[in-house]
C-alpha cells in the first residue's frame, strides 16, 4: 500500500523564509512607490544546525523576466536587500533561500587549515562538492571547476598546495556562480508593488470653482466659464501649483435645489450645489451649459498643460433627482415604501437634492460598468487626476476593481480619496488602490498632535501604502484655527501642509485671501459658501498671501528634501508651542529644518536640537543654516540653538542646512 505523504512539500527543504517585508495584509494588497524609488526588502531566514545559507531577492516588472540580487545577513537571522522600480505599473518580488553546502564546507576547511587539522576525508568531501558544481556549470566554466576539484585529489601530502586552488578568491567566486538550489525554499507569497508617476508623490493642488472665476467687476452672481478659468491660469501658475482641482462641472439639478448658505429653499437665481449632479442636459459625462462646451473644456486642459499644470476632476457618484439615471435605471437607487427614491441623510440633516447610489442593487454589474465608463470618458478628454467625493460611502470592492481597470488602460491616472472617516476605512481605501488620501491634518492643531500623527503616517505600516495629501482648508472645512488665528494661523498652517507632506492642497482663493467667517459660531462651514452661491474674488486684495504661497512652493520645487515623506524626523525643542522637524533627500545634499510657532497670538522662543549626524550628515558644529524665507544666514556653533518666532512677523523658519 502506498504511503501517504506526511508533508505537502519536500521535507528536505530545511531553510525557513519568514516575515518578508514590506507586506500588506499577507500580500493581499501591494505596497506603493514612485517611479525611480527603490523597495527595501527584509526577511527572517534561518535553518536548523550550523550550515550556511544563501538567499536571493527575486523581482521583476509584472509579466517580465525575474532578476535576482543577493540578500545579506544583518545578524540575528535578519536579511535585507533593495531593488529599483523604474517605471509605472506593477512589480513583483519574493525571496528564495537554500543551504549552501560548499560555503559551509569552505568555512569549516578554513578553520581546520588555520588549526592544521585538515585530513584527506575533508578534501575528498570538498572535491565531491566541486565536481557536482562542475556538472551544473556552463561548458566554458565546467573544465576549470573540474580542475579545482581534481587539485583537491592529486594524491600528494602537500595539503596547503592542494587547498590553494580552491581557496583563492577567483576560485570561490567561480564556484559560487553555480549553487545547488534543488532544495531551495521560496517564500509562500509573491508580493507586489504599485509604482506611480512622480506627481503621485509630489504635488500641489489648487481648488477653485469655475463658476466663480469671473472678474469681480462683473455684476454680482455672474456665472463664470471655462474661459474665465483660462484667464486665471497664469495667476495659479505664479502661485506654484501644478494640479488645478475643479469641483463637479456637470449639469446641476433643480428639484429640491439648495439655496445660499445651505438653505433648503433656493431662490430663483441660486445656482445650486455642483454636487447635486444631473439634469435634463445630462449627467456625469455632461458639462454644465453655463460653464461652456466640451471643446472649451479641452482647450482649458491644453492651457493648463502649457503652464505645466493639469486638471483634477471631482467625481461624485451621486445624483440629483433630475439625473437621467433616475428614470433610466431606477434599480440603481433605494426605493422607499411609498415608491419614491431615498434621498441622502445625515440625521437630523436632510439632503433632498441628492440621491445616493445603491451598491447592493441586483444590477450591480451594470452599475459598476456605467461608473467605470464615467472615469474612462474623462480620461479620453485627457484628464488623469480624479478627486473622488466620499468614496467611503461606496462599496470597497468597487473601488478595487474600477481603479485597477482604469489604471490598466491609463497607468498614469491618480485617484485622491476625499474620505474624512475612520482610520481603518481611510487605510482600506488606500489599499484598494487610491493613490493619495485626505487626512486628519486639518484637526491636528498642536505640535504634539502633529508629531504623533506624522510618526504614524511615516514610520509605521501605513507608510507603505497610504500617501497623505494635506489640506488646511476645503469648501467643507474652515477650521477654528483659521477662524480665530488670523494671518499667523494661515501662514503657519500653509507652511505645515506644504513642508510636512509631499502632496498638499488649498481651497482658493478663499485661502490666500484669508476668508475666515463661519456660517455660525462653532460651525466649520463658510459663510456664503461657494458650494451654494457664486462669488467674485478680488485677487488684488492687500491681505493676499499669494507672495508667501508662491515663495514656499518655489522652495518645494528647488529642495528635493521636501518632495516626499520618507526622511521626516522630529527634533526636540524646549518650548512645546514650537514644532521642529527636518527632511532630507536620499543623497543627503538637500537637508531642510522647519520650525513653526503654533501659538498664533504670542511670540515664542526656545532652544532646538539639531544634530547633523542624527540626520545622516557627517558635519559637526559650526555649520550654517540659511532661512529660505528671509534669506538670512545663521552660524550654529552647537547642536542646541536658540530660535524666536513672532507670529505677526515671522511664524515660520525654513532653514536649509548649508553643506559646503
Q: What is the DSSP annotation of 238-306? A: HHT-SEEEE---S-B--TT---GGG-SS--TT----TTSB-BTTBSTTS--GGG--HHHHHHHHHHHHH
Domain boundaries, the chain: 16-96+191-195, 102-176, 197-249+287-317+357-558, 569-657
Confidence band for 350, pLDDT divided at 50, 70 and 90 = confident
Question: How many whole angstroms separate alpha carbon 312 and alpha carbon 418?
Answer: 13
User: 569-657 has which fold?
Assistant: Immunoglobulin-like (2.60.40)
Confidence band for 32, pLDDT divided at 50, 70 and 90 = very high
Question: How many whole angstroms separate alpha carbon 571 and alpha carbon 208?
Answer: 36
Collapsing DSSP to helix, strand or coil, 71 comes out as coil
- pLDDT above 70 covers a percentage of the chain that reads 99
The pLDDT score that the predictor gives to residue 6 is 56
The pLDDT score that the predictor gives to residue 577 is 98
The pLDDT score that the predictor gives to residue 5 is 59
Give me the mean pLDDT over the 39-49 stretch: 97
CATH superfamily of 16-96+191-195: Immunoglobulins (2.60.40.10)
Checking if the pLDDT of 2 tops 70, the result is: no
The pLDDT score that the predictor gives to residue 164 is 86
Checking if the pLDDT of 39 tops 70, the result is: yes
- pLDDT above 90 covers a percentage of the chain that reads 91
Q: b/e per residue, 130-141, with b = 16+ CB within 10 A?
A: bbbbbeebeeeb
The pLDDT score that the predictor gives to residue 618 is 83
Confidence band for 598, pLDDT divided at 50, 70 and 90 = very high
Length of the chain: 660
Q: What is the DSSP letter of 3?
A: P
The pLDDT score that the predictor gives to residue 161 is 84
Pick the CATH number of 102-176 from 1.10.260.40, 1.20.58.80, 1.20.1530.20, 3.90.1300.10: 1.20.58.80
Checking if the pLDDT of 660 tops 90, the result is: no
Confidence band for 397, pLDDT divided at 50, 70 and 90 = very high
Per-residue pLDDT tens digits for 253-265: 999 999 999 999 9
The pLDDT score that the predictor gives to residue 11 is 84
Q: Considering the chain, what is the average pLDDT of its residues?
A: 96
The pLDDT score that the predictor gives to residue 3 is 60
The pLDDT score that the predictor gives to residue 358 is 98
CATH superfamily of 197-249+287-317+357-558: Glycosidases (3.20.20.80)
Which among 239, 214, 247 is positioned nearest to 229, based on CA atoms? 214
The pLDDT score that the predictor gives to residue 506 is 98
Confidence band for 617, pLDDT divided at 50, 70 and 90 = confident
CA 68 → CA 95, 97, 138, 451, 657, distances in Å?
9, 12, 19, 39, 38
Give me the mean pLDDT over the 111-137 stretch: 93
> Quick one: CA torsion of 582, 583, 587, 590, rounded to 10 degrees?
-80
3-class secondary structure per residue, 520-541: CCCCCCECCCCCCCCCCCCCCC
Confidence band for 4, pLDDT divided at 50, 70 and 90 = low
Checking if the pLDDT of 398 tops 80, the result is: yes
Checking if the pLDDT of 607 tops 80, the result is: yes
The pLDDT score that the predictor gives to residue 496 is 98
Per-residue pLDDT tens digits for 254-300: 999 999 999 999 999 999 999 999 999 999 999 999 999 999 999 99
Checking if the pLDDT of 1 tops 60, the result is: no
Give me the mean pLDDT over the 563-587 stretch: 96
**Catalytic site positions:** 389, 418
The pLDDT score that the predictor gives to residue 349 is 81
The pLDDT score that the predictor gives to residue 427 is 98
For residues 183 and 14, the answer to whether their CB atoms sit within 8 Å is yes
Domains 197-249+287-317+357-558 and 569-657 share a fold: no
Per-residue pLDDT tens digits for 483-504: 999 999 999 999 999 999 999 9
Global pTM value? 0.95
Checking if the pLDDT of 162 tops 90, the result is: no
Checking if the pLDDT of 330 tops 80, the result is: yes
Confidence band for 246, pLDDT divided at 50, 70 and 90 = very high
Give me the mean pLDDT over the 354-373 stretch: 98
The pLDDT score that the predictor gives to residue 165 is 83
CA 548 → CA 240, 510, 512, 651, distances in Å?
11, 15, 9, 12
Amino acid at each position: 500500500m502506498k504511503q501517504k505523504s506526511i508533508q505537502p512539500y519536500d521535507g528536505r527543504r530545511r531553510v525557513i523564509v519568514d516575515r518578508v517585508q514590506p507586506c500588506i495584509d499577507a500580500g493581499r494588497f501591494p505596497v506603493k512607490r514612485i517611479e525611480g524609488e527603490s523597495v527595501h526588502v527584509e526577511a527572517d531566514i534561518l535553518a536548523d544546525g550550523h550550515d550556511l545559507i544563501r538567499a536571493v531577492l527575486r523581482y521583476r516588472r509584472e509579466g517580465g523576466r525575474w532578476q535576482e540580487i543577493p540578500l545579506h545577513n544583518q545578524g540575528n537571522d535578519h536579511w535585507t536587500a533593495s531593488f529599483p522600480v523604474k517605471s509605472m505599473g506593477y512589480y513583483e518580488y519574493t525571496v528564495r533561500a537554500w543551504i549552501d553546502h560548499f560555503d559551509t564546507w569552505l568555512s569549516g576547511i578554513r578553520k581546520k587549515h588555520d588549526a592544521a587539522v585538515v585530513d584527506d576525508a575533508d578534501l575528498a568531501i570538498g572535491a565531491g562538492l566541486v565536481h557536482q558544481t562542475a556538472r551544473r556549470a556552463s561548458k566554458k566554466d565546467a573544465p576549470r571547476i573540474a580542475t579545482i576539484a581534481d587539485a583537491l585529489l592529486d594524491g600528494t601530502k602537500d595539503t596547503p598546495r592542494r587547498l590553494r586552488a580552491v581557496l583563492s578568491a577567483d576560485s570561490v567566486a567561480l564556484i559560487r556562480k553555480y549553487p545547488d538550489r534543488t532544495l531551495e525554499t521560496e517564500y509562500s507569497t509573491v508580493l507586489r508593488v504599485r509604482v506611480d508617476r512622480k506627481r503621485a508623490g509630489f504635488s500641489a493642488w489648487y481648488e477653485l470653482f469655475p463658476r466663480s472665476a469671473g472678474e469681480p467687476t462683473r455684476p454680482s452672481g455672474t456665472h463664470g466659464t471655462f474661459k474665465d478659468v483660462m484667464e486665471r491660469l497664469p495667476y495659479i501658475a505664479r502661485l506654484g501649483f501644478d494640479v488645478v482641482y475643479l469641483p463637479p462641472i456637470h449639469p446641476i439639478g433643480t428639484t429640491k435645489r439648495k439655496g445660499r448658505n445651505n438653505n433648503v429653499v433656493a431662490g430663483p437665481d441660486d445656482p445650486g450645489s455642483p454636487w447635486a449632479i444631473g439634469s435634463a442636459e445630462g449627467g456625469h459625462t455632461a458639462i454644465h451649459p453655463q460653464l461652456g462646451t466640451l471643446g472649451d473644456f479641452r482647450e482649458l486642459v491644453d492651457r493648463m498643460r502649457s503652464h505645466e499644470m493639469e486638471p483634477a476632476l471631482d467625481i461624485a457618484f451621486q445624483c440629483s433627482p433630475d439625473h437621467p439615471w433616475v428614470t433610466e435605471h431606477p434599480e440603481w437607487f433605494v426605493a422607499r415604501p411609498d415608491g419614491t427614491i431615498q434621498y441622502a441623510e445625515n440625521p437630523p440633516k436632510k439632503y433632498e437634492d441628492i440621491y445616493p447610489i445603491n451598491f447592493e442593487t441586483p444590477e450591480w454589474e451594470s452599475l459598476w460598468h456605467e461608473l467605470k465608463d464615467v472615469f474612462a470618458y474623462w480620461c479620453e478628454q485627457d484628464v488623469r487626476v480624479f478627486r473622488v467625493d466620499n468614496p467611503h460611502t461606496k462599496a470597497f470592492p468597487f473601488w478595487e476593481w474600477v481603479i485597477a481597470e482604469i489604471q490598466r488602460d491609463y497607468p498614469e491616472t491618480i485617484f485622491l480619496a476625499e474620505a474624512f472617516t475612520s482610520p481603518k476605512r481611510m487605510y482600506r481605501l488606500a489599499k484598494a488602490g487610491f493613490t493619495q488620501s485626505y487626512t486628519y491634518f486639518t484637526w491636528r492643531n498642536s505640535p504634539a498632535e502633529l508629531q504623533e500623527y506624522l510618526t504614524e503616517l511615516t514610520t509605521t505600516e501605513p507608510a507603505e501604502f497610504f500617501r497623505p495629501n494635506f489640506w488646511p482648508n476645503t469648501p467643507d472645512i474652515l477650521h477654528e484655527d483659521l477662524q480665530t488665528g488670523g494671518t499667523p494661523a494661515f501662514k503657519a498652517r500653509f507652511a505645515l501642509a506644504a513642508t510636512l507632506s509631499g502632496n498638499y492642497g488649498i481651497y482658493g482663493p478663499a485661502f490666500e485671501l484669508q476668508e475666515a467667517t463661519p456660517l455660525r459660531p462653532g460651525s466649520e462651514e463658510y459663510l456664503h459658501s461657494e458650494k451654494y452661491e457664486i462669488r467674485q474674488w478680488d485677487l488684488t486684495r492687500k491681505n493676499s498671501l499669494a507672495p508667501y504661497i508662491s515663495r514656499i512652493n518655489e522652495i518645494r520645487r528647488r529642495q528635493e528634501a521636501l518632495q516626499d515623506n520618507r526622511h521626516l524626523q522630529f527634533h526636540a525643542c524646549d518650548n512645546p508651542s514650537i514644532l521642529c522637524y527636518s527632511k532630507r533627500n536620499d543623497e543627503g545634499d538637500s537637508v531642510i529644518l522647519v520650525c513653526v510657532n503654533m501659538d498664533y497670538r504670542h511670540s515664542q522662543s526656545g532652544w532646538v536640537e539639531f544634530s547633523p549626524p542624527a540626520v545622516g550628515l557627517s558635519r559637526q558644529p559650526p555649520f550654517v543654516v540659511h532661512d529660505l524665507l528671509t534669506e538670512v544666514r545663521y552660524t550654529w556653533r552647537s547642536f542646541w540653538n536658540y530660535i524666536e518666532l513672532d507670529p505677526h512677523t515671522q511664524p515660520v523658519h525654513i532653514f536649509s542646512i548649508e553643506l559646503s
